[in-house]
Structure 1
């Protein structure tokens, strides 16, 4: 049975626009007032079919307008931008533009300034937890290819504070420590020397290069670094910390690229080799040159995901350290709230 006031008519003006643009209640909200399951399902299917039909018609109309504009040499109508969690994120007071004078002035005097002014080239020391497994050694061999200016030292039972002091005395610029639990690599610690800061990341979704289909082997060339979507003050600080691990003069001849892509505060690490090649333009819509230049990628590995847990002022100190930022569960109040 259908409650009084609801209508099954296709011409019902109280229903939301079938194009699904968000005007009025959704189809599910409109049909939820019907108690009879069969009637509710029938009405839902009818409205859903009508919505899909309208969307298809609108899509064809936009496609025809775009083709017509291209034939006449006019600019095609602007593409509609779908709503995503990223572009509807909550406004953050710490969001900064690339040309923000105040932020640029602060960064000229921060702990990474000497690196970006080419006064202190990167010299990275990599170590692990106390008893690394075979998986860790395989992972380290691939990470040493990612960082051409890095060296590995065995932990050998030394506490982390002594390793930090050892690295600083031997003029290493950064210390990277990988941790594992039950043969699963689960954390990464980055200490910028000699004065910090220190960042702790949770590491997950690791896939070694040998497990990636069609993977390649890295060369000894210095890679390019790509940092995406580090838009807040905290994000820029984390991005500068990653950049301090790589040389400022990449060898473009090697065609290697290392990417740290931030999306919803998850940092995706990827390592690729790219190549540009000419291919025939098989598109029927365009009457341009017969050959177009396209980029092709080959993943080298490894790949993994990082999640920032804390940033500490100075070098590593688990007891008396002062933290700049710590992630807590009560900070996750909304799916659209991000910090990087």
Structure 2
């Protein structure tokens, strides 16, 4: 290990190098906020060609005394090198602690204590009074009498019209075509100068999906249940088409997929989940092994269309198909689409809803 006088000499030399290279960016613009913890080991670079007076080569890696602060090194290159080595040492200690804990749990077997719950935003979610209890009689009654009851009872099969804004570009057109292959009983109609309010009377016997675009990129989605509503408006982002997905599977088949809804726990999320599930007939063909997933997390809804593969009796693989995108709810409106005189049940207000990051509405 180095002596304290050697460390001070090293710091003075590094600071001298920093002053000489001040014009070339030796000093950082931002102040460093991290320091080495007391008692932790820090590694100091030692030149290989340097030797002591006795001719013995000094060790390549040395440790600094406790309490040494990395920000005291003003030379940018040396400071970055020391910080990198400190992070490597922290990573090694963390892996060693994990390995030790794993060995202890294996040694204890069934007597091992339960694993601690990871500290995430979802696990520390603020309790919401609007959370739905699946065993509640009121919830069961609403499900049996709402607008989508005939779909879930398999009395009617959904019919969907997918339309776009005026003169859509290629990316929006391909997204609509892939949505039509995912949702059965769907038809694509490209907007040509017709306003959305004029399209609604022509598709009164169908539900419709309206895809909006901006700068040649899909950025919005309106889902409306006809003839009496409701209507939801989503912001669309992170759109990936079939060719843009890595390790994708083959094209979807005509089999009716299974539908999976995750984390729609509030009254608002329950309504949005029912609208999403009503796009698919509720008699899935398990032979096709296709699954449409709507996963809600932190007010974002992630859509994935996948196919599962049985590799063995215990292992199952997943292939992602087309397409994938992320939705964020902007509004829930009663009745059909009417941006001027419509009655809204819920509207996203960022100035009121983003005050607490641990409160979610779906």
Q: Same fold (TM over 0.5)?
A: yes
Residue 151 of structure 1 is matched in structure 2 by 187
Q: Are positions 1:339 and 2:361 aligned together?
A: yes
Q: Partners in 2 of 1:276 and 1:75 — Cα distance?
A: 34
**How much has 1:38 moved relative to structure 2?**
2.9
Match of 2:140 in 1: 104
1:66 to 2:87 alignment: no
Q: Is the 8 A contact 1:201 1:308 kept in 2?
A: yes
Per the alignment, residue 15 of structure 1 pairs with none
Deviates more, 1:47-56 or 1:313-322: 47-56
Alignment RMSD: 3.0
Give the secondary-structure state (helix, strand or coil) at the position aligned to 1:248. coil
Q: Which residue of 1 aligns with 2:244?
A: 211
Return closer, same or farther for 1:274/1:56 CA change in 2, 3 Å cut-off. Answer: closer
* Residues in 2 aligned to 1:48 and 1:81: alpha-carbon distance in whole angstroms: 26
Secondary structure of the corresponding residue to residue 108 of structure 1? helix
Match of 2:277 in 1: 243
Moved more, 157-166 or 198-207: 157-166
Is 2:153 aligned against 1:131?
no
Identify the residue that residue 90 of structure 1 maps to in structure 2: 126
Does residue 200 of structure 1 match 2:233? Answer: yes
* Pair 1:293-2:293 in alignment: no
Cα distance in structure 1, aligned partners of 2:176 and 2:96: 54
3-state SS in 2 of match to 1:206:
strand
Name segments (4+ residues, structure 1) moved above 4 Å.
8-11, 47-58
The CA distance in 2 between the partners of 1:100 and 1:53, in whole Å, is: 50
Counterpart secondary structure, 1:221: coil
Comparing both chains, which one has the higher relative contact order based on Cα–Cα distances under 8 Å and sequence gaps of 6 or more?
1
Asked if 1:184 is matched to 2:225, the reply is no
Which structure is larger by alpha-carbon Rg, 1 or 2? 2
CA contact (8 A) 2:291 2:305 kept: yes
Given that 1:89 and 1:338 are in contact with CA atoms closer than 8 Å, whether structure 2 keeps it comes out as yes
Unaligned runs of 5+ in 1: 1-7, 12-30, 279-291
Alignment of 1:22-41 (within 5 A): 37-38=71-72
Q: CA 1:323 to 1:68, structure 2 compared with 1: closer, same or farther past 3 Å?
A: same
| Contact 1:259–1:271 (CA under 8 A) maintained in structure 2 | yes
Corresponding residue number in structure 2 for 1:322: 343
Q: 1:269 aligns with which of 275, 293, 303?
A: 303
CA separation of 1:62 and 1:313: change in aligned 2, threshold 3 A: same
Determine the structure 2 residue equivalent to 1:310.
Answer: 331
Aligned to 1:166: 202
CA distance in 1, matches of 2:346, 2:330: 8
| Cα distance, 1:220 vs structure 2 | 0.6
TM-score, length-scaled by structure 1: 0.78
- Alpha-carbon spacing, 1:146–1:60, altered in 2? closer, same or farther (3 Å): same
Distance in 2, Cα, partners of 1:325 & 1:276: 42
Count of matched residue positions in the alignment of Structure 1 and Structure 2: 295
